[in-house]
Structure 1
Amino acid sequence: MNRNKSLFYFAAFFAMVIYGISTTIIGAILPQLIDKFRLTGYSAGTVASIMPLGITIGSIIFGPIVDRFGYKLLMFVASITVITGLYGLSSTSSVDILRISVLLIGAGNGIINGTANSLVSDISGEKKKSRLSLLHAFYGIGALGLPFMLSVFSSVVSIREVFLIISISLFLLALLLVFITFPVAKKNMGLPLSEILKLINNPLLLLFAFFLFFQSGMEGVAGTWITTLIQKTRIDNYNSALAALFFLILALTIGRFLISFLLKHFTRFRLLQVGLIIVISGAVIIFSINNYYTTITGLVLMGFGFAGGFPIILSFVGDNYQSISGTAFSLIFVIALSGSMIMNIIAGVISDTFGIQYISILIIACVFIMFFLLYNLNSKMSMK
Structure 2
Amino acid sequence: MKTDKYNHIFLRCCYGYAVSGMAVLVIGAILPSIIAEAGISFLAAGSLLSGMAIGNLSASFLFPVAVSRLGKKRAIFLITLFAPICLFILSLLPPFPIMYGAMLIYGLVRGSITILNNSAVNDIYGGKATSKLNLLHCSFAVGAFLAPFITAIFMELGFNWRSVLYLILFLTAATAVLYGTMDESLLNENSVNKIKGKSKNDSQDKSFLKSYSFYGIAFILFFYLGLENCINGWFVTYLQNTGVMSTTYATALVSFTWLVIMAGRLICAALSTRLDKSTIILILSLGSAACFFLLISTKSLPLITASLLGLGFFLSGIYPTCIANAGPMIKGSTIGMAVLTAISAMGGIITPQIIGAIADRVGIVASIGVLYVNVFFVILLSIINYRKHHKKNQLLE
> Where does residue 186 of structure 1 map in the other structure?
191
User: How far apart are the structure 1 equivalents of 2:68 and 2:380?
Assistant: 33
Task: Report if aligned partners of 2:260, 2:313 keep a CA contact under 8 Å in 1.
Answer: yes
Is structure 2 residue 278 aligned with structure 1 residue 277? no
User: How far apart are the structure 2 equivalents of 1:46 and 1:274?
Assistant: 32
Q: How far apart are residue 206 of structure 1 and its match?
A: 5.3
Task: Report if aligned partners of 2:277, 2:324 keep a CA contact under 8 Å in 1.
Answer: no
> Where does residue 269 of structure 2 map in the other structure?
260
Equivalent residues in 2 for 1:368-379, closer than 5 Å = 368-372=379-383, 374-375=385-386, 378=389
- Counterparts in 2 of 1:18 and 1:147: CA distance versus 1, 3 Å: same
Q: TM-score, with normalisation over the residues of structure 2?
A: 0.82
Corresponding letter in the other structure for 1:344: P
Q: How far apart are residue 281 of structure 1 and its match?
A: 1.0
User: How far apart are the structure 2 equivalents of 1:148 and 1:273?
Assistant: 31
> Where does residue 144 of structure 1 map in the other structure?
145
Is structure 2 residue 379 aligned with structure 1 residue 342? no
Q: How far apart are residue 158 of structure 1 and its match?
A: 3.9
Q: How far apart are residue 220 of structure 1 and its match?
A: 0.5
User: How far apart are the structure 2 equivalents of 1:149 and 1:118?
Assistant: 30
| 1:315-354 residue CA offsets vs partner (Å, 9 max, x unmatched) | 55678879777x7655543332221111112222343455
| 1:192-249 residue CA offsets vs partner (Å, 9 max, x unmatched) | 9967865887437655543322221111111211112112223363212212212322
Q: 1:169 aligns with which of 160, 171, 176?
A: 171
| 1:363-382 residue CA offsets vs partner (Å, 9 max, x unmatched) | 42242244156338847996
- Counterparts in 2 of 1:359 and 1:206: CA distance versus 1, 3 Å: closer
> Where does residue 372 of structure 2 map in the other structure?
361
Q: Greater shift after overlay, 136-145 or 71-80?
A: 71-80
User: How far apart are the structure 2 equivalents of 1:318 and 1:64?
Assistant: 25
Report the identity percentage. 22
| 1:107-142 residue CA offsets vs partner (Å, 9 max, x unmatched) | 111111222233334555555555443322211111
Runs of 5+ unmatched residues, structure 1 = none
User: How far apart are the structure 1 equivalents of 2:13 and 2:392?
Assistant: 29
Q: Greater shift after overlay, 174-183 or 197-206?
A: 197-206
Q: Greater shift after overlay, 87-96 or 316-325?
A: 316-325
Matched pairs, number: 383
- Counterparts in 2 of 1:32 and 1:370: CA distance versus 1, 3 Å: farther
- Counterparts in 2 of 1:10 and 1:263: CA distance versus 1, 3 Å: farther
Corresponding letter in the other structure for 2:232: G
Is structure 2 residue 298 aligned with structure 1 residue 296? no
Task: Report if aligned partners of 2:83, 2:173 keep a CA contact under 8 Å in 1.
Answer: no
Task: Report if aligned partners of 1:280, 1:363 keep a CA contact under 8 Å in 2.
Answer: no
Q: Greater shift after overlay, 330-339 or 216-225?
A: 330-339
User: How far apart are the structure 2 equivalents of 1:303 and 1:36?
Assistant: 30
Q: Greater shift after overlay, 139-148 or 18-27?
A: 18-27
User: How far apart are the structure 2 equivalents of 1:217 and 1:380?
Assistant: 29
User: How far apart are the structure 2 equivalents of 1:69 and 1:381?
Assistant: 46
2:189 alignment partner, SS class: coil
1:24 alignment partner, SS class: helix
Runs of 5+ unmatched residues, structure 2 = none
Is structure 2 residue 87 aligned with structure 1 residue 79? no
Corresponding letter in the other structure for 2:113: I
| 1:268-291 residue CA offsets vs partner (Å, 9 max, x unmatched) | 333322211211011110122122
User: How far apart are the structure 2 equivalents of 1:18 and 1:233?
Assistant: 30
Q: 2:250 aligns with which of 225, 241, 245?
A: 241
Task: Report if aligned partners of 2:208, 2:330 keep a CA contact under 8 Å in 1.
Answer: no
Task: Report if aligned partners of 1:130, 1:259 keep a CA contact under 8 Å in 2.
Answer: no
Q: How far apart are residue 163 of structure 1 and its match?
A: 2.7
User: How far apart are the structure 1 equivalents of 2:391 and 2:237?
Assistant: 40
Q: 2:238 aligns with which of 217, 221, 229?
A: 229
Q: How far apart are residue 100 of structure 1 and its match?
A: 1.4
Task: Report if aligned partners of 2:225, 2:347 keep a CA contact under 8 Å in 1.
Answer: yes
Task: Report if aligned partners of 2:199, 2:333 keep a CA contact under 8 Å in 1.
Answer: no
User: How far apart are the structure 2 equivalents of 1:74 and 1:199?
Assistant: 31
Q: 1:351 aligns with which of 334, 340, 359?
A: 359
> Where does residue 88 of structure 1 map in the other structure?
89
User: How far apart are the structure 2 equivalents of 1:230 and 1:156?
Assistant: 21
Task: Report if aligned partners of 1:69, 1:185 keep a CA contact under 8 Å in 2.
Answer: no
User: How far apart are the structure 2 equivalents of 1:369 and 1:53?
Assistant: 27
- Counterparts in 2 of 1:275 and 1:120: CA distance versus 1, 3 Å: farther
Corresponding letter in the other structure for 1:220: N
Q: How far apart are residue 299 of structure 1 and its match?
A: 0.8
Q: Which has the larger radius of gyration?
A: 2
